[in-house]
Structure 1
Amino acid sequence: MEHFDLIVIGSGPAGQKGAIQAAKFGKRVAIVDRRESVGGVCLHTGTIPSKTLREAVLYLSGWDERGVYGEDYRLKRDLTMEDLKQRLQITIRREVEVISNQLARNGVTTIAGAASFLDPHTIRVEGGDGKATDYRADHFLIATGTHPVRPDGVPFDDCRVIDSDGLLHLDRIPHSMTVVGAGVVGIEYAAIFSALDVEVTVIDGRDSILGFMDREVIDEFTHLLRDRGVTLRLGENVKHVAVEGEQVITDLVSGKRIRSDIVLYAAGRAGSVNTLKLDHAGVEFDRRHLIPVNGSYQSNVEHIYAAGDIVGFPSLASTSMEQGRQAVSHAFGHGVRSLPETFPFGIYAVPEMSMVGMTEETLTEKKIPYETGVARLRETARGQIMGLDQGMLKILFALEDRRVLGVHILGEGATELIHIGQAVMALGGTLDYFLNTVFNYPTLAEAYKVAALDAWNRLAP
């Protein structure tokens, strides 16, 4: 029986980075994935497909240029799903090549097949040909990710009633769409399809969307969604979903009835552990099939680690990579320095949103005296050149020592711009950095200086 120092189950971001990190420590490593191609959920059905779809929509629909050429501008009229998916296939194929090459270059053995535990140190991998092979390891990293929850009673048919995985297999762009769930996935797809002029209705039982984000940013984003025709039914719950002819009828508990071409269910995800037989290894998981871990990403079985979406919030590709690296570093006795308080969040809606650090709500709750500085992206020359008429950047800083406590951005390029604020925060920087720094002109990054000057005006006696 072949023996490894580490076997990683799942080849998404957490699995990839964990495997490569262990290989760099000189360990013998294998990575197992049920797919023939590496990349996991992130590459094949999650992060990369949704962001690639977004990029294709913004380009082909002419969305990014409408601020200059008018609301009726279109780069390609009569867009089809095939147009959008063309770019997706190219991206996935190239990413598979990049990841496969990275793993091979670092000497990581890749094994295709479904893994399940036989005991705490042994797994069995069943390949697509039905053959099973057993492997042993000193340590394991479970990084199998999550899958969309499909509530009982909802008539999923992968055609008109779909989850986020099924959305990628649509054969046509719908005229109308109902999105159940206003979390990150639901909001991203609602915003992307509304940019295609699809009539979108979003339903969620909560009274607000994306509760972990800054409220001012979310209020502005909500206004932008409504301004382009998105209907938000918040504080509403679904009673019944039924397919009638070519339409789907969604009845709400309140008595409202919504008709649409398709219904996208994005009401949560569950851990992908069903086939792992974790009980054979003694590993515990919760009712959502997520694996509880400690600060070093150990499960209740000390040599079995878990990282990525399978451990729950924040369920971001970026943080998953870091979790995989930290888990493996701990497993092999290597110290690792990390700054979780400056991990950025990115929401790839239309427009983008991103944040790092604390929100106004958190600062108020913790009774930390602070002040804000706000810039509108249209206030920058680059914003005018790009035709931006929306978007904002907000800096939160401590009144006591002017230390930057949080940065919140809404607008195109937000997920790139946030890293400037992240770097300043990680290095303990203050508002004065932005006041004294020279930014390239014209750039959107100048918004940091505009926001800092706005803050300075608030501080001036």
Structure 2
Amino acid sequence: MQYDVIVIGSGPGGYVAAIRCAQLGLKTACIEKYPTFGGTCLNVGCIPSKALLDSSEHYHNAAHTFETHGIQLKDLKVNMPQMIKRKNEVVASNTAGITYLFKKNKITSYQGMGSFVDKNTIKIKKPDGSEETITGKNVIIATGSKPSALPFLPIDKKRIITSTEALTLTEVPKHMILIGGGVIGLELGSVYARLGAKVSVIEFMDGIIPTMDKGLGKELQKVLTKLGMEFYLGHKVTGASVKGKEVTVNFDNPKGEKMELKGDYCLVAVGRVAYTDSLGLENIGLTVEERGRKITVDEHLETSVKGVYAIGDVVRGAMLAHKAEDEGTFVAETIAGQKPHINYSLIPGVVYTWPEVASVGYTEEQLKEKGVKYKTGSFPFKASGRAKASGDTDGFVKVLADSTTDEILGVHMIGPRAADMIAEAVVAMEYRASAEDISRMSHAHPTYTEAMREACLAATENRAIHI
């Protein structure tokens, strides 16, 4: 079968690329090795983790804040099988949505492992062992990523687990030891902390969410500590062992002294690595970068082999679903002869703990390193009328603006619905708005987004009204 475009992988990058190609009139096929579409994000990543985050937050509020609202409950308990069942239903609904969209857009789908025979020919090894070959003028590699492992720490997927297994636990751990203080680990760690587990975080760096603004990490650690999570920062894991239902994790403190923790589960969340196995890249003369196994691409996301593109987690940049989606659209439109663009400096990062954390643009550390003169405006949610009404007063919004032009250079927030609020900052920065531009826009009252306006006022000659 001959196609204009063959997409390998149906995660956020792959399925968006396939749909956009089809919209542009290109005959499109998509190959997926799993029985359902959506890749890591829909099946074992973004969507199921958000389902559990919401469920655990409901339980936590019922246990700790409902009484303040005048709501009294008796005999409250966690039903983990039902929580996991609901999560699975959310996943099934989303993956079914992709199936519908593929049919609507007349995209041909194949289940199996896709690999290159040559740059225009893809062999599909199906689950039953049979093989089929298809050809395409263009191929988009969108195979995503998988959890990274530590070479000295074997993952048995029972007691020493990755994020994938953490989404299917049918019991609340007594003590979960979390290796890694990044986004994935903290989100899942907070799920089980809310449900009553003791959660210990061991992080090699000196702060959590180390790629984001340092102020966000400090505030999030303070909030999660109140939740009962404990942190070992600047500590280096050296090994782990399992005996029965007990896991022992060995690590060194900053002084090099030996330490250990015992728990019933150990979640290894030390990042992700590009999934480029079994693609047959060597058959078309492509190699992967030694660090992270990523595929090298040019400014059009085309590899060194003409007509072969790569997007999402398998190429440079942040491993984010929305970045992959943007790149999927970008490549589809490039193949169709259009001139799309992506502003990589304005792709927001989000941590879906509660409060949520969101960030876009430059951090203070980056601006200092670049020698850019900037000013800061900050507004705490404890001064927000809407946040007081909902009881979500932890966190703040911080705006960084150019000292001379007042152009917004970075926005960093931790607070209620920060994941949604960051969109205002992205729009503002895409159109190169100044802090004063945002401060003079009307924001509905009472809303959480007023904190963005107040932070911009604070950056504009310290004019914040409510602090």
Corresponding position: 1:15 with 2:19: no
> Given that residues 65 and 386 in structure 1 are in contact (C-alpha distance below 8 angstroms), is that contact kept between their aligned partners in structure 2?
no
**Structure 2 counterpart of 1:272:** 275
Corresponding position: 1:458 with 2:462: yes
Cα distance per residue 1:49-92 (max 9 Å; x no partner): 1111111111233269728728x987983213213212211211
Cα distance per residue 1:168-212 (max 9 Å; x no partner): 222211011111122221122222222223211111222222232
Partner SS for 2:258: coil
Q: Which one-letter code corresponds to 2:93 in the other structure? A: R
Corresponding position: 1:411 with 2:410: no
Structure 2 regions of 5+ residues with no counterpart?
none
1:345–1:123 distance in 2 versus 1, CA, 3 Å: same
**Structure 1 counterpart of 2:264:** 261
Partner SS for 1:395: strand
- Offset of 1:413 from its aligned partner? 0.1
Corresponding position: 1:314 with 2:313: no
- Provide the rounded CA distance (Å) in 1 between the counterparts of 2:142 and 2:189: 28
Partner SS for 1:263: strand
> Given that residues 292 and 311 in structure 1 are in contact (C-alpha distance below 8 angstroms), is that contact kept between their aligned partners in structure 2?
yes
> Given that residues 81 and 171 in structure 1 are in contact (C-alpha distance below 8 angstroms), is that contact kept between their aligned partners in structure 2?
yes
TM-score w.r.t. length of structure 2: 0.93
- Provide the rounded CA distance (Å) in 2 between the counterparts of 1:274 and 1:431: 46
1:175–1:338 distance in 2 versus 1, CA, 3 Å: same
- Offset of 1:346 from its aligned partner? 1.1
Partner SS for 1:444: coil
- Provide the rounded CA distance (Å) in 2 between the counterparts of 1:434 and 1:185: 32
CA RMSD after TM alignment: 2.2
Corresponding position: 1:366 with 2:370: yes
> Given that residues 9 and 144 in structure 1 are in contact (C-alpha distance below 8 angstroms), is that contact kept between their aligned partners in structure 2?
yes
**Structure 2 counterpart of 1:207:** 206
Corresponding position: 1:246 with 2:245: yes
Equivalent residues in 2 for 1:61-460, closer than 5 Å: 61-62=60-61, 66=65, 69=68, 77-253=76-252, 254-287=257-290, 288-458=292-462
- Provide the rounded CA distance (Å) in 1 between the counterparts of 2:63 and 2:430: 32
> Given that residues 251 and 258 in structure 1 are in contact (C-alpha distance below 8 angstroms), is that contact kept between their aligned partners in structure 2?
yes
- Provide the rounded CA distance (Å) in 1 between the counterparts of 2:172 and 2:137: 49
TM-score w.r.t. length of structure 1: 0.94
1:312–1:47 distance in 2 versus 1, CA, 3 Å: farther
Cα distance per residue 1:278-331 (max 9 Å; x no partner): 111222112332212222111221211111111143111111100111122223
> Given that residues 65 and 387 in structure 1 are in contact (C-alpha distance below 8 angstroms), is that contact kept between their aligned partners in structure 2?
no
> Given that residues 375 and 459 in structure 2 are in contact (C-alpha distance below 8 angstroms), is that contact kept between their aligned partners in structure 1?
yes
> Given that residues 373 and 452 in structure 1 are in contact (C-alpha distance below 8 angstroms), is that contact kept between their aligned partners in structure 2?
yes
**Structure 2 counterpart of 1:6:** 5
> Given that residues 60 and 75 in structure 1 are in contact (C-alpha distance below 8 angstroms), is that contact kept between their aligned partners in structure 2?
no
> Given that residues 207 and 214 in structure 2 are in contact (C-alpha distance below 8 angstroms), is that contact kept between their aligned partners in structure 1?
no
**Structure 1 counterpart of 2:32:** 33
Aligned residues: 459
Q: Which one-letter code corresponds to 2:410 in the other structure? A: G
- Provide the rounded CA distance (Å) in 2 between the counterparts of 1:292 and 1:81: 43
- Provide the rounded CA distance (Å) in 1 between the counterparts of 2:431 and 2:239: 52
Partner SS for 1:224: helix
- Provide the rounded CA distance (Å) in 2 between the counterparts of 1:98 and 1:64: 34
1:449–1:459 distance in 2 versus 1, CA, 3 Å: closer
Partner SS for 2:371: coil
1:96–1:220 distance in 2 versus 1, CA, 3 Å: same
> Given that residues 172 and 196 in structure 2 are in contact (C-alpha distance below 8 angstroms), is that contact kept between their aligned partners in structure 1?
no
Q: Which one-letter code corresponds to 2:356 in the other structure? A: E
1:151–1:455 distance in 2 versus 1, CA, 3 Å: closer
> Given that residues 436 and 457 in structure 2 are in contact (C-alpha distance below 8 angstroms), is that contact kept between their aligned partners in structure 1?
no
1:151–1:436 distance in 2 versus 1, CA, 3 Å: closer
